[in-house]
Amino acid sequence: MSTNPTFAPILSTVDLHKCYRKGAIEVPVLNGANLSVSEGEMVSIIGQSGSGKSTLLHLMGTLDQPDSGEIHFQGNRIDNLTAAGRDVLRNRYIGLIFQFYHLLPELTTIENVLAPMMIRHSVWGYWANRRKYRERAKELLETVGLSHRLNHKPRELSGGEMQRTAIARALISEPILLLADEPTGNLDRQTGEEILTVLRRLNDERQLTIVMVTHDPSIAAGADRTIQLVEGRVKTSNQAAA
Ligand code: ADP
Ligand code: MG
């Protein structure tokens, strides 16, 4: 293993194949996707609609399994984990955000952010640490610029505010990798840029590794590096060269 943490891959995929079955027809989506993400990097994955971006991200987040190929996270294979292993991974090490936020409508902003900690711990375990978790949730909501919306319900928030809440919720368990599927896809341009700025800052200031899927080239350009998905394979290019 490399001794230089800058170049240590935190996440890599090896020859990933995935197809979906539509009736009798098999629809190939990934045809040998290889990529590697270094610790502390912010990478965007771009490709046309239907090119398999979400499929790839879901595989990396262990929400689905490849037909063949391997996925390595911190040197360990994660494509063949048990359900319990996948839960631990997503509860502690990998944060996920999506285009449509997926907040719980009956919970306030701060309760939504705390929800993963309630799920992770027993009632007693959560109760015993609730002050610490609330402090962490407030700090995160401050980081994403939502200190003034702690007790609002999702329906009282704008799209950008809902995505900020979802980002804080993804970070409450202090993950080392954030996977984002079209995080600005449902937002107007300016609000999308603001969300990109939040993600950029999390990467710059906390060295959080981020993999962000987007169909929007100007959002993708905000990352350190862009990976293009074409016909189920990746084409890599440096931002500077683009
Ligand atoms: P993207 O995120 O790049 O728009 P997706 O990964 O969502 O692309 O989808 C890639 C292709 O796989 C599309 O043709 C889509 O219709 C198909 N697909 C995605 N999910 C499923 C599924 N659960 N069942 C069948 N086909 C699917
Ligand atoms: Mg998608």
Q: Of all residues in the chain, what percent carry a pLDDT higher than 70?
A: 94
Mean pLDDT estimate for the chain: 93
- Tell me, using a 6 A CB cutoff, whether residue 232 lines ligand 1: no
What is the C-alpha separation between 62 and 71, in angstroms, rounded?
9
Domain contains 68: yes
Domain contains 242: no
- Testing ligand 1's pocket by substitution, the residue of 19, 20, 46 carrying the most ligand atoms inside 8 A of its CB is 20
Specify the pLDDT at position 241.
42
Domain contains 1: no
Residue nearest to atom 5 of ligand 1 (CA): 52
Specify the pLDDT at position 126.
87
Specify the pLDDT at position 119.
86
226, two tokens? 């862009």
CATH number at residue 117: 3.40.50.300
Give the HSE-up count for residue 231: Cα atoms under 13 Å, Cβ half-sphere.
Answer: 0
- Strand-pairing partners, residue 89, are none
Specify the pLDDT at position 237.
59
Residue 132 scores a pLDDT above 50: yes
Domains in the chain, number: 1
Q: pTM for this one? A: 0.93
Ligand 1 centre to CA of 66 (Å) is 13
pLDDT grade, residue 235 (50/70/90)?
A: confident
Domain contains 25: yes
What's the pLDDT tens digit per position in 137-175? Answer: 999 999 999 999 999 999 999 999 999 999 999 999 999
What is the C-alpha separation between 160 and 200, in angstroms, rounded?
15
What's the pLDDT tens digit per position in 42-88? Answer: 999 999 999 999 999 999 999 999 999 999 999 999 999 999 999 99
Residue nearest to atom 15 of ligand 1 (CA): 50
- Tell me, using a 6 A CB cutoff, whether residue 60 lines ligand 1: no
Q: Which domain holds residue 208?
A: 11-236
- Testing ligand 1's pocket by substitution, the residue of 17, 29, 213 carrying the most ligand atoms inside 8 A of its CB is 29
